[in-house]
Amino acid sequence: MARFRLVLSLIFLVILLPTIYLLYRSWEHLSAEATFGQKERSFLILQMLNQRIYDDLAIEEKRSYSEYRFIRAVPMIGGEGVTLSDLAHFPVHSHYSGIVGYFQMEPDGSVHTPVLPDGLLDKIPVQNRKEREDVRDSIKAVLEELKFQNGLSHRRVTAYPYVYTLAGDSLKDNGKDLSVNEVLAKGRPFQKRVETPSQKEAIVFDVESERAQVRHKTSHDSITPEPDAADGSFDVEIEPFQARFDHNYIIFFRNVWRSDQRFTQGFIVNLADYLNNKVYKELQFSPEEKTLRLDFRKTDTLLAAFGAPASSGEMLYFSPLQFPLQDMEFAVYRNQDARPPGGGVIILLGFVMVFVLAGGLYGVYKITATQMRVSAKRQDFISAVSHELKTPLTAIRMYAEMLQNHWVVKEEKRQHYYNMIASETERLTRLIQNVLNISNLERHRWPVHLQLTNPQRFLEEFITKYTPTIERAGFTLEALIDPCDTEVYMDIDATFQMLMNVLENAFKFAKGCEPKKIQIGLRVKQNAMWMFVRDFGPGIPNAEKDRVFQEFYRVENEMTRRTSGAGIGLSLVRKFSELQNIRVELLNVSPGLKVELHLPVRESF
pLDDT tens-digit profile of 331-358? 998 876 666 666 777 788 888 888 888 8
Helices (H) and strands (E) counted in the chain, each on its own, are 12, 22
Q: What is the DSSP letter of 310?
A: S
Query: Which residues have CB under 8 Å from 477's CB, separation 6+?
Result: 463, 467, 470, 471, 517, 518, 519, 520
Report residue 284's pLDDT band, with 50, 70 and 90 as the boundaries.
Answer: low
pLDDT at residue 338, rounded to an integer: 63
pLDDT at residue 3, rounded to an integer: 81
- Check pLDDT > 70 for residue 510: yes
Beta strands, E only, 106-169: 111-112, 159-160
**604 φ, ψ (degrees, to nearest 5):** -90, -5
Query: Which residues have CB under 8 Å from 165's CB, separation 6+?
Result: 182, 185
Model confidence pLDDT, tens digit, residues 88-107:
988 887 888 899 999 999 98
Better-predicted residue by pLDDT, 165 or 268: 268
Cis peptide before 227 (omega within 30 of 0): no
476-481 and 517-525 beta bridge pairing? parallel
For the segment(s) 448-605, the CATH number from 3.30.565.10, 3.90.190.20, 1.10.10.10, 3.40.50.1860 is 3.30.565.10
* CA gap 545, 459 in Å, rounded: 25
* CA gap 16, 265 in Å, rounded: 70
Report residue 113's pLDDT band, with 50, 70 and 90 as the boundaries.
Answer: very high
Task: Name the average pLDDT for the chain.
Answer: 80
Q: What is the DSSP letter of 550?
A: S
Report residue 143's pLDDT band, with 50, 70 and 90 as the boundaries.
Answer: very high
How far CA 578 is from CA of 91, 371, 583, in Å, comes to: 88, 24, 8
In order, the DSSP letters of 39-106 are HHHHHHHHHHHHHHHHHHHHHHHHS-GGGGSSEEEEEETTEEEEEE-TT--SSPP-SSTTEEEEEEE-
Distance separating the N- and C-terminal Cα atoms of the chain: 43
Mean pLDDT, rounded, for 362-379: 78
pLDDT at residue 11, rounded to an integer: 86
3-class state of residue 37 by DSSP: helix
- Comparing 70-74, 295-299, 508-512, which segment has the lowest mean pLDDT? 508-512
pLDDT at residue 605, rounded to an integer: 43
Share of the chain above pLDDT 70, in %: 80
Compute CA 580 distance to the chain's CA centroid, rounded to the nearest angstrom. Answer: 49
pLDDT at residue 602, rounded to an integer: 64
HSE of 253, CA atoms in CB hemisphere, 13 A:
25
Mean pLDDT, rounded, for 526-542: 88
Residue length of the chain: 605
Mean pLDDT, rounded, for 111-121: 89
Q: Confirm if 509 and 581 have CB atoms less than 8 A apart.
A: no
pLDDT at residue 270, rounded to an integer: 95
- Check pLDDT > 80 for residue 155: no
- Check pLDDT > 70 for residue 173: no
Model confidence pLDDT, tens digit, residues 8-46:
888 888 888 888 888 888 878 877 887 888 888 888 889
pLDDT at residue 168, rounded to an integer: 35
* CA gap 160, 582 in Å, rounded: 99
Question: Across the chain, which distance is largest between two alpha carbons, in Å?
Answer: 171
**523 φ, ψ (degrees, to nearest 5):** -120, 135
* Single pTM value for the model: 0.56
Mean pLDDT, rounded, for 442-456: 80
Model confidence pLDDT, tens digit, residues 54-79:
988 888 988 999 999 999 888 888 77
Domains of the chain, residue spans? 63-157+192-283, 448-605
pLDDT at residue 381, rounded to an integer: 66
How far CA 158 is from CA of 161, 228, 233, 234, 355, in Å, comes to: 10, 20, 22, 18, 71
Q: Confirm if 381 and 567 have CB atoms less than 8 A apart.
A: yes
